């Protein structure tokens, strides 16, 4: 750890009245050892992230959901700023070993309860906003495809492409096909959205990646609240299913569990189908690979790519189940 970084962290901890014995970095968090306790120190990327963190903490507490508490400084603030960088401190909890299926079930319970408890209906007053939102998403997806094409070009022109690059090149045509299919499904969703007068909004974690939750002392707790806010419930569901850390064995059962508390509407299922077709986790994996500094992580990226790829049968099974549910919804609407 750089000495300047260490000095800044010690200055931050001073505002909390904490005297660190040792500070160790773990990804984006710092583990702080004091004489009697262990703490987690995290830098907030932007002021918006800080605002979301504070708002989400208050919202989850009001719903009696489990979160890591934010410690307060000696002046009563929930954050501290040093040299223009803002940090917050929470207790450090060691995660209790838990099966992927069990943690997945607990995460789904967490999200479905939060969505059910905060759902609101909002009128769709401006159809142009639907078009603008859809075009923005399609443009973003196309930009990612263009970026991936540049990655493929460089890999193809290396004398010795890396094992990870070879994997991406081998599957490149599939990523193009999936992205274009996701865009077509967005168009289907657009037509249904224009016929609807209301939309459902809920409070979302925003990035409901299983790695942003920890199981400790018999409870599942949110440890990353920097992306929370009001949005469609599909934001949380899409993030969860698209995470390489979501490793449960039966996605259809997981979705059915979610719907026992918060059933989705026909139009919401249509949008979820589009998100499931889109290979977002692959783009994120390739992007992380390109940004990585160390060649020692080559095989970890290969393993992550293969883990995502091996989720495809579960993804396809959920898409087919959603298609069947949509058909049942249509039949019910026609008969009622």
226-252: pLDDT as tens digits = 999 999 999 999 999 999 889 899 999
CATH code, 128: 3.90.1200.10
User: Are both 257 and 294 inside the same structural domain?
Assistant: yes
Answer yes or no: are the C-beta atoms of 25 and 6 closer than 8 Å: no
pLDDT band per the 50, 70, 90 thresholds, residue 327 = low
Angle (CA) 167-173-179 rounded to 5° is: 110
User: Are both 135 and 214 inside the same structural domain?
Assistant: yes
Residue 329 makes CB contacts below 8 A (sequence gap 6+) with 266, 269
Domain span at 122:
100-335
* DSSP, residue by residue, 187-224: HHHHHHHHT-SEEEEEEE-S---GGGEEEETTEEEE--
- Which of 68, 91, 114 corresponds to the end of one domain? 91
User: Are both 60 and 108 inside the same structural domain?
Assistant: no
User: Are both 217 and 140 inside the same structural domain?
Assistant: yes
Both structure tokens of 9: 């962290």
Q: In sequence order, what E strands does the chain have?
A: 22-26, 29-33, 38-44, 80-82, 85-91, 120-123, 198-204, 213-216, 219-222, 229-231
* DSSP, residue by residue, 220-278: EEE---TT-EEE-THHHHHHHHH-TT---S-HHHHHHHHHHHSPPPHHHHHHHHHHHHS
Residue 336 makes CB contacts below 8 A (sequence gap 6+) with none
User: Are both 205 and 73 inside the same structural domain?
Assistant: no
C-alpha dist (Å) from residue 311 to 110, 171, 195, 246, 254: 22, 15, 34, 9, 14
Angle (CA) 13-49-103 rounded to 5° is: 90
Residue with tokens 């960088």: 85
Sign of CA dihedral 93, 99, 100, 103: negative
User: Are both 82 and 111 inside the same structural domain?
Assistant: no
163-194 and 266-277 helices cross at what angle (nearest 10)?
160
User: Are both 213 and 139 inside the same structural domain?
Assistant: yes
Both structure tokens of 29: 């968090």
C-alpha dist (Å) from residue 233 to 62, 111, 228, 247, 262: 19, 9, 12, 21, 10
User: Are both 112 and 85 inside the same structural domain?
Assistant: no
Residue 168 dihedral angles phi and psi, to the nearest 5° = -65, -45
pLDDT band per the 50, 70, 90 thresholds, residue 329 = low
Answer yes or no: are the C-beta atoms of 198 and 121 closer than 8 Å: yes
d(CA 190, CA 128): 11
> What pLDDT score was predicted for residue 20?
93
- Which of 74, 91, 108 corresponds to the end of one domain? 91
Answer yes or no: are the C-beta atoms of 307 and 244 closer than 8 Å: yes
User: Are both 137 and 222 inside the same structural domain?
Assistant: yes
User: Are both 126 and 13 inside the same structural domain?
Assistant: no
User: Are both 139 and 264 inside the same structural domain?
Assistant: yes
What is the total count of domains within the chain? Answer: 2
Instruction: Give the percent of the chain with pLDDT over 90.
Output: 74
Instruction: Report the pLDDT averaged over residues 26-55.
Output: 92
User: Are both 85 and 206 inside the same structural domain?
Assistant: no
Could you read off the pLDDT of 99-128 as tens digits, one per residue?
Answer: 999 999 999 999 999 999 999 999 987 788
> What pLDDT score was predicted for residue 333?
47
Sign of CA dihedral 203, 208, 212, 215: positive
Q: What is the DSSP letter of 56?
A: H
CATH code, 59: 3.30.200.20
- Which of 25, 58, 91 corresponds to the end of one domain? 91
> What pLDDT score was predicted for residue 58?
92
């Amino acid at each position: 750890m750089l000495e300047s970084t260490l000095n800044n962290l010690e200055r931050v901890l001073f505002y909390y009245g904490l005297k660190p014995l040792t500070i160790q970095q773990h990804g984006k968090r710092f583990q702080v050892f004091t004489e009697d306790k262990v703490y987690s120190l995290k830098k907030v990327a932007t002021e918006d992230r800080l605002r979301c963190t504070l708002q989400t903490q208050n919202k989850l507490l009001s719903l009696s959901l489990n979160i890591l508490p934010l410690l307060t400084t000696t002046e009563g603030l929930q954050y501290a700023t040093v040299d223009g960088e803002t940090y917050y401190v929470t207790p450090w909890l060691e995660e209790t070993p838990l099966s992927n299926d069990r943690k997945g079930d607990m995460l789904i319970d967490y999200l479905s309860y939060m969505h059910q408890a905060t759902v609101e209906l909002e009128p769709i007053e401006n159809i142009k906003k639907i078009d603008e939102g859809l075009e923005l998403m399609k443009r973003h997806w196309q930009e990612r495809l263009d970026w991936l094409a540049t990655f493929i070009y460089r890999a193809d022109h290396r004398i010795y492409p890396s094992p990870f690059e070879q994997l991406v090149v081998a599957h490149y045509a599939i990523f193009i096909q999936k992205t274009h299919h996701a865009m077509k499904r967005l168009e289907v969703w657009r037509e249904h959205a224009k016929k609807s007068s209301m939309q459902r909004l809920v409070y979302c974690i925003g990035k409901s990646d299983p790695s942003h939750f920890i199981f400790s002392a018999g409870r599942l707790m949110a440890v990353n609240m920097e992306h929370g806010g009001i949005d469609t419930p599909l934001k949380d569901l899409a993030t969860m299913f698209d995470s390489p850390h979501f490793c449960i064995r039966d996605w259809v059962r997981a979705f059915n569990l979610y719907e026992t508390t918060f059933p989705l509407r026909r139009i919401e299922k249509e949008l979820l189908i589009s998100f499931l077709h889109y290979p977002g986790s692959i783009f994120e994996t390739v992007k992380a690979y390109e940004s990585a500094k160390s060649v020692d992580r080559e095989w970890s990226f290969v393993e992550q790519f293969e883990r995502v790829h091996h989720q495809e049968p579960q993804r396809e099974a959920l898409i087919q189940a959603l298609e069947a549910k949509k058909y049942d919804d249509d039949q019910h609407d026609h008969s009622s």
